């Protein structure tokens, strides 16, 4: 047996084969009593009968003299894969765009957090300042109330001391003029005197009486020092402060009458008595306003 090339597809086939196993081309004509059969080509794709010498099927377009594998390669040509070039990451534009975007995002987050923190801190500072101001105001009101009560008590004490000294002044003055009904309290200031001026000089020269006058002056200084602290009264103590100021004016007038008596006996006695009565009236009014 020898090998021959198929006239149709060109593949090697046995010389004994009746048809090419690759393309089906009839190689040997069967011997029959009838006229020789015309060899036919059949398209392997669509089965269309092909005329002799046709290279391409007119029905489906398949080349006649090629194998199925070659047809597949023609219908589905292998696509060449694009060559990939390895570019360093830091040289890629997309890399730097991503980095820049991250930087902007992080900066925005940091800025937002900073603004939020600052606002919260300002809010805390305002709240703290408000609390401190309320505390300071509360302490000031408390201290103010204490000073009002303190100065009221000081003026009452000074008024009592001035009343005692003033009554003794009136007694010595009266007895020195009328020279009658001497009592033990005034007698020692009248002995050996010719008029009331000498008697009053003896009174103010007396050590015990001078101590009373010094106590009244010291009381005045204490009252003045506390009154300076009451210049800015809170709203709730404004009425009480006005009444206290009125009492202070009467207090000063009354204590000065004891420290430095002037005028005649009658005018002095009248002024002293009026100041005494007015001082007590205003004191009670102020006491009520302070809630005592």
Rounded Cα–Cα distance for residues 110 and 123 (Å): 20
- DSSP H or E run through 4: strand 3-5
pLDDT score recorded for residue 83: 54
Q: What is the pLDDT along the chain (292 residues), one digit of tens a residue?
A: 677 888 888 788 787 777 888 787 877 665 544 445 555 677 777 767 777 767 787 777 777 766 666 656 655 554 545 555 667 776 677 877 888 888 998 988 998 888 998 988 888 899 899 888 889 889 989 999 999 999 999 999 999 999 999 999 999 999 988 876 567 788 889 888 888 999 999 999 999 999 999 999 999 999 999 999 998 899 999 999 999 999 999 999 999 999 999 999 999 999 999 999 999 999 999 888 887 6
Instruction: Mention every residue, 6+ apart, whose C-beta is less than 8 A from residue 140.
Output: 234
Supply the DSSP string of 7-63, one letter for each residue: TTT--EEETT-SB-TTT--B-S----SSSPPPP-EE-TTT--EE-TT--B-TTT--B
pLDDT score recorded for residue 33: 47
pTM as predicted: 0.57
Determine contact, residues 3/14, Cβ cutoff 8 Å.
Answer: yes
Q: In the chain, where are the structural domains located? A: 1-76, 144-289
Pick the closest to residue 174 from 153, 205, 206, 196 (CA basis). Answer: 196
């Amino acid at each position: 047996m020898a090998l021959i090339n198929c006239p149709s597809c060109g593949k090697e086939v046995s010389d004994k084969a009746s048809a090419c196993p690759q393309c089906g081309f009839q190689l040997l004509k069967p011997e029959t009593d009838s006229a020789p059969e015309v060899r036919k080509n059949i398209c392997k794709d669509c089965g269309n009968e092909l005329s002799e010498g046709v290279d391409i099927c007119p029905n489906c377009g398949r080349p006649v003299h090629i194998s199925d594998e070659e047809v597949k390669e023609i219908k589905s040509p292998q696509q060449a894969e694009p060559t990939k070039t390895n570019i360093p990451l830091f040289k890629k534009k997309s890399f730097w765009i991503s980095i820049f975007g991250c930087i902007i995002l992080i900066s925005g987050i940091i800025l937002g957090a900073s603004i939020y923190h600052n606002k919260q801190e300002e809010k805390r500072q305002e709240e703290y300042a408000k609390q401190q101001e309320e505390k300071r105001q509360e302490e000031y009101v408390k201290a103010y109330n204490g000073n009002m009560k303190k100065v009221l008590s000081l003026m009452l004490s000074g008024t009592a001391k001035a009343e005692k000294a003033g009554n003794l002044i009136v007694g010595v003055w009266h007895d020195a003029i009328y020279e009658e009904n001497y009592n033990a309290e005034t007698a020692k200031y009248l002995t050996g005197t010719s008029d009331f001026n000498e008697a009053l000089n003896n009174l103010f020269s007396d050590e015990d009486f001078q101590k009373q006058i010094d106590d009244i002056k010291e009381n005045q200084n204490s009252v003045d020092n506390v009154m300076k602290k009451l210049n800015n009264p809170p709203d709730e103590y404004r009425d009480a402060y006005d009444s206290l100021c009125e009492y202070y004016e009467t207090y000063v007038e009354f204590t000065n009458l004891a420290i430095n008596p002037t005028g005649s006996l009658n005018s002095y006695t009248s002024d002293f008595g009026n100041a005494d009565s007015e001082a007590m009236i205003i004191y009670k009014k102020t006491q009520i306003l302070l809630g005592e």
